[in-house]
Amino acid sequence: MADTNTPQFAVVTGASTGIGYHLARVFAQNGFDVLVTADEDRITEAAREIEALGAKVYSVQADLSKDEEVERLWREILATGRTVDAIALNAGFGLGGDFVETDLKKELKMIDLNVKAVVHLAKLAAKQMVGSRSGRILITASIAGTMPTPQQAVYGATKAFDLEFAQSLSYELRDTGVTVTALKPGATDT
């Protein structure tokens, strides 16, 4: 039987700044313990700030555009000994400019982070959550995924994927005790 005094546990990717940082704060303010991750050194400072809200906070610096880093993050999550009650798949970035002039390597990295890492972590988390018949998955999409995005063609496409993936996964998992939600922010100063 689970210890009912143990706070729920949330994982937030892209949590060093911006939306992810604020999502992690909201989880902490609502009684969750939190594991935060980002590819920046700032994640350690962000974790300290969130911990000051009274939550137990774990931090992992990882570049989730790389499959091996996603797997390493999942091992770190499992090493906490906690069951993931909620995961906010928020890590991502955009790249602007004329498509014929933008850097292909950066665009492919964006696809790896904004799409592949989301699918990879959602798969790992959903398996655990379905097994316990409880869990919440939040995927940060964007209103950019609902309309043409000139000068951000690849970014808009990744966010359209995230939105469709969240909607499809929500439908697929509807009877499992697991909810899937897409967050669709507009332009945000992060």
Q: Model confidence over 37-49: pLDDT tens digits?
A: 999 999 999 999 9
Tell me, yes or no, whether 177 lies in a domain. Answer: yes
Q: Model confidence over 49-72: pLDDT tens digits?
A: 999 999 999 999 999 999 999 999
| Per-residue pLDDT band at 146 (split at 50, 70, 90) | confident
| pLDDT of 73 above 80 | yes
Number of domains in the chain: 1
| Per-residue pLDDT band at 117 (split at 50, 70, 90) | very high
DSSP string, the chain: ---TTSPPEEEEES-SSHHHHHHHHHHHHTT-EEEEEESSTHHHHHHHHHHTTT--EEEEE--TTSHHHHHHHHHHHHHTT---SEEEE-------S-TTTS-HHHHHHHHIIIIIHHHHHHHHHHHHHHHHT-EEEEEE--GGGGS--TT-HHHHHHHHHHHHHHHHHHHHTTTTTEEEEEE---S---
- Provide the domain limits for residue 80: 9-183
| Residue range 113-122: mean pLDDT, rounded | 99
Tell me, yes or no, whether 15 lies in a domain. Answer: yes
Annotated catalytic residue 58: no
Tell me, yes or no, whether 103 lies in a domain. Answer: yes
Tell me, yes or no, whether 37 lies in a domain. Answer: yes
| Per-residue pLDDT band at 91 (split at 50, 70, 90) | very high
Tell me, yes or no, whether 1 lies in a domain. Answer: no
| Residue range 149-162: mean pLDDT, rounded | 97
| Per-residue pLDDT band at 5 (split at 50, 70, 90) | confident
Tell me, yes or no, whether 142 lies in a domain. Answer: yes
**pLDDT computed for residue 187 by the predictor:** 72
Identify the CATH number of the domain in which residue 107 sits: 3.40.50.720
| Per-residue pLDDT band at 1 (split at 50, 70, 90) | very low
**Which entry of 21, 58, 155, 171 is annotated as an active-site residue?**
155
Q: Model confidence over 169-184: pLDDT tens digits?
A: 999 999 999 999 999 8
**pLDDT computed for residue 30 by the predictor:** 98
